[in-house]
Structure 1
């Protein structure tokens, strides 16, 4: 019996090891050797971005390791990032097959995980024109003002009673309300989505999308679901699908209503069955894109705001300096207006420094090489996954002085920005796959941080010192705080 098993399994074993044997003959970038079949998966723990940073310190800024059967290139320096995301951008503009995106994002029909090609270009263009253009972003200015004003009122009530505020929960709720109004045309209660609420389900989806999955790296074992991840992915996918079906049905029922203005969902539905688009737009496409816009706008903005306020509370010197700038520019008689943001130079430095230390997506979204190529003398095989470690780049000691220190003044007189041109700071990525919602995200982050810092002083509860604030993160595609940020507000404006 054992000889039969050996005869049957030996060809499969040779097939699985063939890429490993062939690639070892090439001049791959340096990296850990790993085990046959499993590669270096065992080296990735609870926080893969930190594990890969430590490995890069040993093997270099362009590192090769096999994750299962997949050749993986890890990029950990500004210079290396420029080579992959600018010099050879087209070669690495695609996305690899992704089990989570298959089950949650309708077989990768969304913008974030779609393979590079005409479908992706068409969907990205549609999203940019209908939701993320400067014109569209400005059209939602009154809505943002209204929602931020409601948040300030809620916090002000707590300030009157010297009550601690769960800032993480308040910020998430604000982000969800703004996202739903922009994308869906209406706000929705958590209970209308799922008993766990928007935040819990979206953060579970973000975690499932980022956690190393054997099915992605050893496709032959994917049907076995050895980690139980596929079962969870399908469950999350069903929650999203039920909610999005409800949204689409609501919009179809109200499509002839003259009172209801067209929103993003209406625009997407108008393309369904139309010949205007190069691709036939059906419900799965529409749901994938809606989910993309919702998850990205909710989770990324709230995470960035949460970390910015955490760093300001932890560093009272910086908080006072931001408040002083706000007093000089805005005064203490009114709230911050979006038109004030361009004059708040120090606040801009604080946002940059926050995103340097806490990039919303620490490993960005993986790229995939579409052909063999050579970079810096290293062979990069077709089909390689490319991981750009933005978290490591933000801590690169050759790019930053005292990289672990929160010091916004490092950007004083500097031309470094967040828009993908300066590769030492790429929280939104760069090149063709740069985040299309960058402008909207930065507007929301700056406005909310400015408003909460201008309207309130903040102190930690129970006599906790700023230096004692827990800054532990929780890993996913985004890395929010592991523990909610809770602080006591004191209203500081003279009027309003």
Structure 2
């Protein structure tokens, strides 16, 4: 969604070119009061052609604009028209429950924008596959083979080794030198993820990170080409189709490099002695075995690998950055988390996953981070498969549905001091992120809930615990905790706009594992 503001100039040009049409349509517009009219959820006033888009121009972060509009309208269920695209936004737990539980099956598919059609031309992964036989098959493979508790546990050594490298790299920094914590975290999570996927660190890691970041921007859905899919002019001004084609081609080349590197490693392994089955092994085994309702093509495997990185890498890295940022802004919470770790570990040279079971406050910190900074604030969009009634309103077939979990998790009706970072609010244990508490949905709920929660949380807990245990962290000179820059940038996921730089001071030395 960052691309939305990048294209603001194109949007203005589009409006100027269509101004005569706007005036004509406005003069002809008449609202019907027929008793048989569709009863849509409430929404603010709209303009011809662009619909509700002008309401989103107030902020580069659409989820904030949508939250403000829903609050002004007092509309937990809100109807918008974003260009040509009919949209319904859920901004309350009750509304979210309607889409992800009561009517879950009817809203279990994904809208396919022109951009997505380009990016998924060779095959669909689990994340964006339409609801149907292929999606059910991919979900079953994910649950049973790729993201099961047993599979997550099998990659424990990978997580511990990569976090050990992170700690060693930070400890090696010249005293007094600031560390780009954002970059270090992103690289560690990338290496951790790719070792799980392909059994090795990816030789083209930096290039892949750059191409993937561009893909996240492209798939935001808030660009002219996707908002006006029938307009060739909008498509031309957007340039998104061209960017999507280039990104799709480059991603394909990089994933092919993943396959080649994976095969080369297996080929040189002595006597077939390789590490435990990685995720590429699993997918290739399933492809070879066959017997599936929908054959698993190489294109589907490519898309699946990108899905795995998106659900594991991008979200985990962003969550970790926000956790470190909030702890720096809240020194008392930082001290409490570090005291828990150091009292429990008693000078151990490394943090292992066995040590995390007793870290109750650390887990509360992560939950509070996900509440304040859900990494996918609008979740991934759903599409209405058949017209139905939700909370007494009509939701027509084809409507795109957003669940604004950012608005829900900051709603004072459900949270005391919702803008404050207070991990203690989760101490009762009555609320979790498993998709049953609709006031707290960082990973969604229902059939389309993120299947990679266990993978993500395992990486977040170990990395955060290690960074807090081994180091005391200081802000750059002259910056107070409340002055720390917390500006957000928006793609499908929300990360920091500017990298987080901090000064580490070693508290507990660790073995050098670089």
Tell me if 1:146 matches 2:161. yes
CA–CA distance in structure 2, aligned partners of residues 418 and 177 of structure 1 = 26
State the partner residue of 1:460: 475
Q: Secondary structure at the match of 1:203?
A: helix
Tell me if 1:102 matches 2:114. no
State the partner residue of 1:299: 314
CA–CA distance in structure 2, aligned partners of residues 219 and 397 of structure 1 = 38
What TM-score do the two structures reach when normalised by structure 1? 0.90
1:345 Cα offset (Å): 1.2
Contact 2:368/2:422 (8 A) holds in 1: yes
1:27 Cα offset (Å): 1.2
Deviations 1:34-71 (A, max 9, x none): 22332112322321111101111122110001122222
Contact 1:211/1:476 (8 A) holds in 2: no
Tell me if 1:243 matches 2:258. no
1:205 Cα offset (Å): 1.2
Structure 1, 485-494 or 423-432: larger mean CA deviation: 485-494
Structure 1, 302-311 or 233-242: larger mean CA deviation: 233-242
Contact 1:357/1:391 (8 A) holds in 2: yes
State the partner residue of 1:119: 134
Distance 1:413 1:106, change over 3 A: same
Distance 1:475 1:283, change over 3 A: same
Contact 2:212/2:251 (8 A) holds in 1: no
Q: Secondary structure at the match of 1:85?
A: helix
1:149 Cα offset (Å): 0.7
1:110 Cα offset (Å): 1.2
Structure 1, 237-246 or 222-231: larger mean CA deviation: 222-231
Q: Secondary structure at the match of 2:433?
A: coil
State the partner residue of 1:319: 334
Distance 1:108 1:405, change over 3 A: farther
CA–CA distance in structure 2, aligned partners of residues 98 and 130 of structure 1 = 30
Deviations 1:9-42 (A, max 9, x none): 9xxx9xxx99x99999211100023223321123
State the partner residue of 1:198: 208
CA–CA distance in structure 1, aligned partners of residues 218 and 334 of structure 2 = 35
Q: How many residues align?
A: 477
Deviations 1:143-171 (A, max 9, x none): 1111111111111112x623211100000
Tell me if 1:266 matches 2:281. yes
Distance 1:282 1:254, change over 3 A: farther
State the partner residue of 1:71: 86
State the partner residue of 1:176: 190
CA–CA distance in structure 2, aligned partners of residues 443 and 133 of structure 1 = 13
Q: Secondary structure at the match of 1:488?
A: strand
Alignment of 1:92-491 (within 5 A): 92-106=107-121, 109-158=124-173, 161-189=175-203, 192=204, 197-221=207-231, 224-251=235-262, 258-261=272-275, 262-272=277-287, 275-491=290-506
Contact 1:97/1:216 (8 A) holds in 2: no
Q: Secondary structure at the match of 2:355?
A: helix
Contact 1:333/1:494 (8 A) holds in 2: no
Distance 1:495 1:70, change over 3 A: closer
State the partner residue of 1:40: 52
What is the RMSD computed on CA atoms of the aligned residues?
2.5
Q: Secondary structure at the match of 2:504?
A: strand
Q: Secondary structure at the match of 1:480?
A: strand
Deviations 1:110-169 (A, max 9, x none): 1111111111011122123332110011011111111111111111112x6232111000
1:107 Cα offset (Å): 6.0
Distance 1:404 1:112, change over 3 A: same
CA–CA distance in structure 2, aligned partners of residues 370 and 85 of structure 1 = 14
Residue segments in structure 2 that go unaligned for 5+ positions in a row: 1-20
1:238 Cα offset (Å): 1.4
Structure 1, 268-277 or 236-245: larger mean CA deviation: 268-277
Structure 1, 470-479 or 41-50: larger mean CA deviation: 41-50
Contact 1:325/1:346 (8 A) holds in 2: yes
CA–CA distance in structure 2, aligned partners of residues 142 and 254 of structure 1 = 19
Residue segments in structure 1 that go unaligned for 5+ positions in a row: 1-8
Distance 1:24 1:66, change over 3 A: farther
Deviations 1:430-480 (A, max 9, x none): 000000000110111111111101110000122322221100010111111
Deviations 1:213-261 (A, max 9, x none): 2333332125833211111111211111111122234445666662345
